Amino acid sequence: MDSNAPGQFLGYALQVPRALFHLLKGGPGDVICVEVLGDVATLTADSHLTAEEDKSSINCNPLTNKSTDLWKTFYNWMAAIDEGEIIIQKTIFILYSNKKGRPGIVNTFDSATTIEEAKNAISEAKLQLKGVGQDHSIWKYYNFVINQNEERLVELVKNFELQIGSGAGYEEVQSELVRKHLPASQIQFLLKYIAGWLQKELTESIAKKQPARIRWEDFDKQVKIPFDRARRLELIDFTLQDPIDENDIQQQMKIWPCYLQQLDAIDCDVDDTLEAVTDFLKAKVNRDKWIEDEIIDESIATDFQARLISFWSNHQKRIKLTERNLSEKDKGQLLLLDCKNRQEKIRDEQPPSSTIAGTYHALADEPVLGWHPDWQNLFQKQ
């Protein structure tokens, strides 16, 4: 097994959060590219370019003075300029690293913002690397950049930025989401949502042998609604991104909890039972996440349950009075159907479709209510 494989994977994986970062920082007319003009690039409507190369390491600083990654990056930029792919005067050159190291040549280049400062930075680099010869691994790149193209390197260094991140590159994305006034409790959900969407878009483009380009307008269209919902603390259906695991459904069928026993008592079929398990699990996931993320609190959840219980109680009485000819089991099925179809809001908002049925099943599991007219005797609380 290749011992470098984890590091190589991290290098490629880093491009998704970096592309997300630039999409969040971008604006109308921007196009973000991956593996088109370097690792990640931003093209603006007025033909300006941000060309970014991403360097990562699991254990150490990938941008030391004699790092092949460092000098190969400048070599590739210079080659792209030679081939006319990059106009140096209209380009910002970013080198991103997920690890911070001791200050070195790359930091000196980063500090240079004028022609004079860039010349001084290059002179300092020459001084520090005066012992590098043709037998060194960086020589091919260093020689081309410093000795053969110093005049153009001066202008490149003037437009150069070093950006230091951390880990897998998602902390910077999270910071941008916070800057957009999104609730802290929603950041992880939104991050997973937009990262998943972008990964899919990039993968499909590459699979079709098309350039991996994302228009800012397409990104904005994709995120506008979930961002607005997050700001309003809407009742997000978290199970859309994390569907219920089939093993969890089978486990419920195996242990056969009280709410399923209650369905069995009124002769519900297999389809009804599977639907009940799914609704029960979905409602639990969402309820727990809404409380955890402070979308609702315990008092709101308790009030919602109280209104469902009140509806159940009233309809139980109505069925007893108006459906005398029905069997006990049919009365129970009718009551269950009425309750599942109940429309009840949480904080003046309609919850996901599984919430009401799932909450009823949770209440039947305690049990504080039931479907069979004689449910209290059949399912007394132990």
Dist. CA 33–CA 202, nearest whole Å: 9
Amino acid at 56: S
Q: Which residue has the tokens 């409790």?
A: 185
pTM: 0.69
Write the Ramachandran bin of 181: left for phi over 0, alpha for psi from -120 to 50, otherwise beta: left
Q: Which residue has the tokens 């059949």?
A: 378
Residue 381: predicted pLDDT: 59
Residue 1: predicted pLDDT: 39
Residue 238, C-beta contacts closer than 8 angstroms, at least 6 positions apart = 189, 285, 286, 289
Q: Which residues pair with 50 in a beta bridge?
A: 42, 92
3-state secondary structure of 91: strand
* Contact status, residue 145 vs residue 78, Cβ threshold 8 Å: yes
Per-10-residue mean pLDDT, the chain, length 382:
51 85 94 90 92 81 87 94 92 90 91 95 93 90 93 95 86 91 85 92 90 94 89 84 91 95 95 96 94 88 95 95 93 95 90 95 96 92 53
Sign of dihedral through CA atoms 270, 272, 273, 275?
A: positive
Residue 183: predicted pLDDT: 83
Residue 8: predicted pLDDT: 60
Dist. CA 294–CA 237, nearest whole Å: 14
222: exposed, middle or buried (Cβ count in 10 Å: 0-12, 13-18, 19+): middle
Residue 318, C-beta contacts closer than 8 angstroms, at least 6 positions apart = none
**CA-wise closest residue to 327 among 371, 361, 363, 378:** 371
Amino acid at 20: L
Q: Which residues pair with 161 in a beta bridge?
A: 94
> DSSP string covering 174-218, please?
HHHHHHTT--GGGHHHHHHHHHHHHHHHHHHHHHTT--EEEEHHH
* Contact status, residue 22 vs residue 65, Cβ threshold 8 Å: no
What does the block give as tokens for 95? 């080198």
Residue 11: predicted pLDDT: 55
3-state secondary structure of 162: strand
Compute the C-alpha angle 15/22/186, nearest 5°.
90
Residue 221: predicted pLDDT: 94
